Amino acid sequence: MDWPDDYVGKIIQGDCLEVMQGMPDGCVDLVWTDPPYNVGKDYGDWNDSLPDDEYLEFCKSWTKEMKRLSSNRMVIFIPQKYKLQWWNLLGLDYREIILSWSPEGAYRGHLIKQFSTIMTNIKPVQHTKNVWHNYQMSGLGYFFRECNYNHPGYTSEDITKRVLNAFSEAGQVILDPFSGTGTTPAMCVQLARNYIAIEQGQKWCDLAHKRVERAKEQPDLFRKPAEEKQNSLNLEAK
């Protein structure tokens, strides 16, 4: 594969580690991804129930590549189970952003998890708080009323848009090595970003292509506001 023609603006079916190893240093502006959590979900073509040491070694291998490709500019969803290990992998300069949400259903007297965590070391391009309220998780309400395409690890379009707006600018190259159903490339199209999406599962790649095509078919009026908003932010920063 040749850089950049075979990478930028492409959804690549393959092992993310192998694909990233073929890319040059510092070639992307941001990594945004939601990796497997090793909690036993059925991805079909991936074992999500590895022994802890194997899972962490797996994470170490692709985290190293993501740092190399992005000059260590990353925003990553992390599983709470491995939070301390992730800080060790990423570095102490990484900080948490808490996505808080409200559970629905009966309360049974136990402590209820009401947040998820993303980690980053990047200075945002716009004013961004470290607690994002009302980001509810799959099956629990507002943001996940959007279609999840029956993917076990679906990432919200709304969360992805907020990350891209907060930590990247129009025209920059965004890498997602665990692209799943293609939320990141589809939102990159809507927000005038370039993308490199990697996904191991062929059926998810096929779906991602369809989502990107639908995003491209949207009238320009859906994309121009994103560009204008980013331009205004750039002017304010000068």
Q: How confident is the model over 184-199, as pLDDT tens digits?
A: 999 999 999 999 999 9
Q: Is residue 2 part of a domain?
A: no
Instruction: Tell me what percent of the residues of the chain surpass a pLDDT of 90.
Output: 49
Q: Which of 43, 89, 98, 92 is nearest to 66 (CA)?
A: 89
In a domain, 119, yes or no: yes
Q: Which has the minimum average pLDDT: 13-22, 49-58, 114-123?
A: 114-123
* CATH number of the domain that residue 21 is part of: 3.40.50.150
The structural domain count of the chain equals 1
pLDDT single digits (tens) 146-159: 566 565 556 788 88
Cα distances (angstroms) measured from residue 80 to each of 153, 176, 225: 15, 21, 35
What is the structure's pLDDT at 134?
Answer: 58
Asked whether residue 105 is assigned to any structural domain, the reply reads yes
What 3-state DSSP class applies to 39?
A: coil
Q: In degrees, to the nearest 5, what angle opens at C-alpha 85 toward C-alphas 160 and 45?
A: 60
Pick from 14-23, 92-101, 128-137: least confident: 128-137
What rounded mean pLDDT belongs to the chain?
Answer: 81
Q: Is residue 5 part of a domain?
A: no
C-alpha 109: how far from chain center: 33
Range of the domain at 187: 10-237
Cβ atoms of 178 and 15 closer than 8 Å: no
In a domain, 1, yes or no: no
pLDDT of residue 108: 55
pTM (2 d.p.): 0.81
Residue 65: inside a domain: yes
Please indicate, yes or no, if residue 4 is contained in any of the structural domains.
no
Q: Give a yes or no: residue 3 inside a domain.
A: no
Q: Which residue has the higher pLDDT, 224 or 10?
A: 10
**Structural tokens at position 236:** 């304010």
Give tens-digit pLDDT for 56-111: 999 999 999 999 999 999 999 988 888 889 999 999 899 987 776 655 544 555 65
Instruction: Please report where in the chains the tokens 């500019």 appear, as a residue.
Output: 73
